[in-house]
């Protein structure tokens, strides 16, 4: 069986190229404790036939053989498939003759019934698949019922297709235990996958660790998905493990140090909330039902900040502006990072760069903008620098992909001002600052403009409350090894804010007075903020205004601090092999 076009097969290779090749194929080794516990759950009898569809170097093959032998199997039946001939050679040496291995792309294999499917599906983003491979995927999925693939857009990563194909290999009542990226839990393209799980499986369990990262690679943020095949509606369980996996009994994911929630969910729900949200958030959301409104589309118009393309050209420091003699009308102050926002009001003097904004053509500049033209001619001779993640340098600025499609490569287009900024990459410091009136905003932020009729000072204050910060922490995408909370478009759409129109004048005065005091100082990490008197007074004022007593503050602070500390300090596990 040959591989699908686009992910070519290959033979053994040198160690110097192996790591980059594995990264391209999304191969990451799985910790032994995780393998053993998944195999113990999925494999139930010594007669079970087991397959790992993307077996790599055989971590799950070893686990499956061990589990079957432990159940009394004299001749375990374990199959492994992989597109990579080099790792299959290693898997053969590790797993021995019990493992029946096939050199193929699993998505090109014809279905055959198995009792258990285990594995760690590749972490290959859809951008890396290529047009030819995507076309091959569409041909493979044509064999599936339309309701299974409806809504599975081109944004879906490789693992989505693997799940759909793997289900065809599983007997009724069979179990699938897979380590997979957590991205599908909350995003729009994951809706088709969530619907598929609820329709095709009678048990769906999503499991995540709160105490250790399972992989050393910081961009990999996995969950374990445990599925039992059978007609729905599915029973959905969400489990967070609050101890090292080595302390969890094999085959069981409940106990004194796990949090298990069994809830009714639909494909439209964000599954990350029942999985991760502290109880304080769930209770708070119920209290605010009908009294909180969407930020985007309700109170404000929110869009991503300016994406310049080449920051070395478009973000101009004072020295460069003076050296090139750039006219002031072509320079707009820009807020580039949260470090420039020391408090809830960004100070003009803290901005160290200006955005080069020039819609004029060279002929016009030759007579009225010599400084700007000098900067453009300098930029045309510069080349990009090599970056992390294998991005090569040496590309002339005007030929950079994001610039060469512009009528004038150096024209960023119209730039908007903003009333407030939402940080897209949240660490331990929470604030929603307002920029100077004459400044624009870089693309590390979402820029918001309040709609007509909205109480702007009050809404800005509410956006800086612990109530909203907890909402952001729960909605955001966690990256355990990096400690960063990603807050992207879908999270902005889901964000809710206490309705400012429901707050009476006395409460409004109290909130604004407390917020004014808070605005006169720098804002530090939130775990440090909770002990400051002005922060306490401000959040008490907000809670009182929305009809909640001060005891809520302790619950919100505790939940938010716990989540921040956990996110920024979680330790990596080791892939013991």
3-class secondary structure per residue, 453-501 = CCCHHHHHHHHCCHHHHHHHHHHCEEECCCCEEECCHHHHHHCEEECHH
In the predicted model, residues of the chain with pLDDT beneath 70 are 1-28, 125-128, 153-154, 216-220, 387-392, 480-481, 570-577
Q: Are 495 and 475 in contact (CB under 8 A)?
A: yes
The pLDDT of residue 153 is 66
Output the pLDDT for position 315. Answer: 96
- Residue pair 272/186 in contact (Cβ under 8 Å)? The answer is yes
> What whole-number distance in Å separates Cα of residue 412 and Cα of residue 301?
21
| Beta-strand relationship, 292-294 and 496-498 | antiparallel
Backbone angles phi, psi at 279, to 5 degrees: -60, -30
Short-list 106, 119, 100, 110, CA closest to 42? 119
Give me the count of residues in the chain.
577
CB 519 within 8 A of CB 343: yes
| Beta carbons within 8 Å of 533's beta carbon, 6+ residues apart | none
Phi, psi (deg, nearest 5) at residue 395: -95, 125
Three-state DSSP at 105 gives: coil
pLDDT at 368: 82
* Residue linked to tokens 């943020």: 221
What's the pTM value of the predicted model, to 2 decimals? 0.83
Number of other CB atoms surrounding residue 268 within 10 Å: 9
Report the pLDDT value the prediction gives residue 21, as an integer from 0 to 100: 42
Q: What is the pLDDT of residue 311?
A: 92
Q: What percent of the chain has pLDDT over 70?
A: 90
Query: If DSSP states are collapsed to H, E and C, what string results for 373-410?
Result: HHHHHHHHCCECCCCCCCCCCCCEHHHCHHHHCCCCCC
CA distances from 12 to 9, 17, 350, 356 (A): 10, 10, 54, 50
């Amino acid at each position: 069986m040959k591989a699908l076009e686009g992910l070519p097969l290959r033979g053994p290779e040198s160690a110097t190229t192996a790591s980059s090749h594995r990264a391209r194929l999304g191969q990451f080794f799985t910790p032994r404790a995780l393998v053993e516990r998944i195999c113990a759950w999925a494999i139930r009898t010594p007669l079970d036939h087991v397959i790992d569809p993307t077996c790599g170097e055989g971590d799950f093959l070893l686990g499956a053989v061990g589990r079957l032998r432990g159940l009394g199997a004299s001749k375990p039946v374990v199959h492994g498939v992989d597109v990579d001939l080099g790792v299959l050679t290693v898997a053969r040496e590790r797993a021995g003759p019990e493992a029946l291995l096939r050199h193929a792309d699993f998505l090109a294999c014809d279905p055959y019934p198995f009792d258990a499917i285990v594995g760690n599906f590749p972490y290959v983003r859809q951008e890396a698949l290529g047009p030819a491979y995507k076309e091959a995927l569409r041909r493979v999925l044509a064999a599936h019922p339309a309701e299974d693939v409806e809504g599975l857009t081109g944004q879906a990563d490789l693992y989505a297709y693997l799940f759909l194909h793997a289900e065809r290999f599983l007997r009724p009542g069979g179990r699938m235990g897979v380590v997979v990226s957590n991205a599908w839990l909350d995003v729009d393209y994951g809706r088709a996958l969530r619907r598929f799980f609820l329709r095709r499986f009678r048990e769906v369990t999503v499991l995540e660790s709160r105490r250790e990262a399972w992989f050393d690679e910081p961009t990999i943020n996995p969950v374990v998905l445990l599925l039992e095949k059978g007609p729905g509606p599915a029973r959905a369980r969400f489990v967070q493990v609050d101890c090292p996996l080595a302390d969890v009994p094999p085959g069981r994911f409940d106990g004194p140090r796990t949090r298990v929630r069994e809830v009714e969910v639909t494909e439209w729900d964000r599954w990350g909330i029942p999985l991760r949200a502290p109880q304080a958030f769930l209770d708070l959301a119920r209290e605010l039902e009908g009294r909180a409104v969407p930020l985007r589309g309700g109170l404000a118009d929110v869009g991503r900040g300016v994406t310049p393309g080449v920051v070395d050209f478009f973000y101009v420091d004072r020295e460069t502006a003076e050296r090139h003699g750039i006219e002031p009308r072509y320079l707009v102050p820009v807020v580039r990072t949260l470090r420039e926002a020391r408090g809830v009001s960004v100070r003009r003097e803290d901005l160290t760069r200006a955005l080069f904004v020039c819609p004029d053509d060279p002929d016009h500049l030759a007579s009225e903008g010599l400084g700007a033209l000098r900067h453009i001619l300098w930029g045309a001779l510069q080349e990009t620098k090599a970056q992390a993640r294998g991005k090569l340098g040496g590309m002339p600025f005007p030929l950079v992909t994001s610039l060469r499609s512009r009528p004038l490569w150096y024209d960023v287009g119209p730039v908007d001002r903003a009333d407030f900024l939402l940080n897209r990459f949240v660490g331990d410091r929470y604030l929603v600052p307002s920029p100077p009136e004459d400044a624009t905003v870089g693309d590390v932020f979402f820029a918001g403009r309040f709609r007509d009729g909205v109480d702007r000072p009050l809404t800005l204050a509410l956006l800086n409350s612990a109530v909203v910060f907890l909402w952001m922490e729960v909605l955001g995408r966690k990256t355990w090894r990096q400690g960063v909370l990603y807050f992207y478009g879908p999270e902005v759409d889901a964000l809710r804010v206490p309705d400012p129109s429901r707050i009476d004048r006395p409460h409004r005065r109290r909130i604004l007075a407390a917020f004014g005091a808070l605005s006169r100082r720098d804002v530090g990490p939130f775990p440090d903020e909770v002990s400051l008197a002005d922060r306490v007074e401000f959040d008490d004022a907000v809670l009182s205004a929305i009809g909640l007593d001060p005891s809520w503050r302790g619950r919100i602070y505790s939940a938010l601090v716990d989540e921040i500390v956990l996110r920024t300090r979680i330790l990596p596990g080791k892939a013991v092999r």
